[in-house]
Amino acid sequence: MPEELFALAPAKVNLTLEVGAARADGYHELASVLQTLALADEVTLRPASTPSMQVAGPFAAGTPEDAGNLAWRAVDALASVLGREPQPFHIRIVKHIPAAGGLGGGASDAATVLRLLARRWPDAGEEALATAAAAVGSDEPFLLAGGTALVEGRGERVTPLRDLPEHGVVLFIPPDTLPNKTATLFAALDRDGQVDEPAVSRSLAGRLPVRVTGADLYNSFERVAFDCFPGLAELWERLEARTGEAVRLAGAGPTLFWIGPAESVDAVVGAAEGVGCTVIPTATAGSLWRR
């Protein structure tokens, strides 16, 4: 086996995201149809004398290079599940996915590290990987599989679905996010008081594979995101006015996205020029790991 292992860590978008009631353990019941994208970070793993990490790339700023990084935690989580002493590795991540934007970049880096560790640790089967992924976070179990899937519980129950047909996707990255933004949005939803049932997610899951547009999607966080992220409502309105298309919130935001025919991507990118955000064209993508 080569000393250095490499894999891509894809971004994700939530086609649906329904937030249910808070549970006794403090988490909320979720139902979401998730989709991986062609946009991806690059992750390299190699043995080292001491644990270390390097983060580079266009969206490296603000990404921790220590135990605060989810990818670093993934090594310890899997070692714990397997009853191993944590082995020191050097992890290098090239960030093409904007951090803290609702696109799952950090979680995907962690899930990819788990997949790379499984090549080196033969006792790391699917059950152990899933347990470690859930210990690291809520998006990691889906990103361990990728493709298109229905996710329920707090994220640990993943049902693979037939792949969404290829769609074009355009991401709109606002210049600012919020500290502790996921907790902030969940708290805002709790104050809002509305509890969503998983009807939209299960309906879409049952109809796949179908073509979708933003008008077909749903995200509970859209009820409160305008109040939590300064300037997001104005950006959203400008984008929809410029493109003439529905634009949706990615996960807990603040990234917004358009989804539709691949041949329309250039027109959407052109319409958004000068709107005051970073624009990234990409596409839906199948799983890198499922067979």
In this structure, what token pair is assigned to residue 196? 């969503």
CATH code at 114?
A: 3.30.230.10
Pair 156, 45 in one domain: yes
pLDDT digits (tens, 9 = 90+) for 198-232: 899 999 999 999 999 999 999 999 999 988 999 99
**Catalytic amino acids?**
12, 139
Pair 276, 179 in one domain: yes
For residue 23, list its beta bridge partners: none
In this structure, what token pair is assigned to residue 151? 């996710």
Pair 142, 47 in one domain: yes
Examine the pLDDT at 113 and tell me if it is beyond 90.
yes
Split at pLDDT 50, 70, 90, the class of 291 is low
Split at pLDDT 50, 70, 90, the class of 282 is very high
Q: At what angle do helices 126-136 and 70-82 cross, to 10 degrees?
A: 130
Could you tell me the residue range of the domain that residue 135 belongs to?
5-160
Q: Comparing C-alpha atoms, which of 90, 106, 87, 135 is closest to residue 9?
A: 106
CB 35 within 8 A of CB 164: yes
pLDDT digits (tens, 9 = 90+) for 178-193: 888 888 998 898 888 7
pLDDT given for residue 1 in this prediction: 62
Distance, CA of 38 to CA of 110 (rounded, Å): 17
Pair 34, 108 in one domain: yes
Pair 141, 45 in one domain: yes
* Total of domains in the chain: 2
Q: Are strands 218-219 and 28-47 parallel, antiparallel or unpaired?
A: unpaired
Domain stop point among 110, 138, 160: 160
Pair 20, 124 in one domain: yes
Query: What's the chain's average pLDDT?
Result: 94
pLDDT given for residue 177 in this prediction: 84
CB 90 within 8 A of CB 76: no
Domain stop point among 160, 193, 224: 160
Pair 113, 202 in one domain: no
Pair 154, 174 in one domain: no
CB 34 within 8 A of CB 149: yes
**Any domain includes 138:** yes
pTM above threshold 0.85: yes
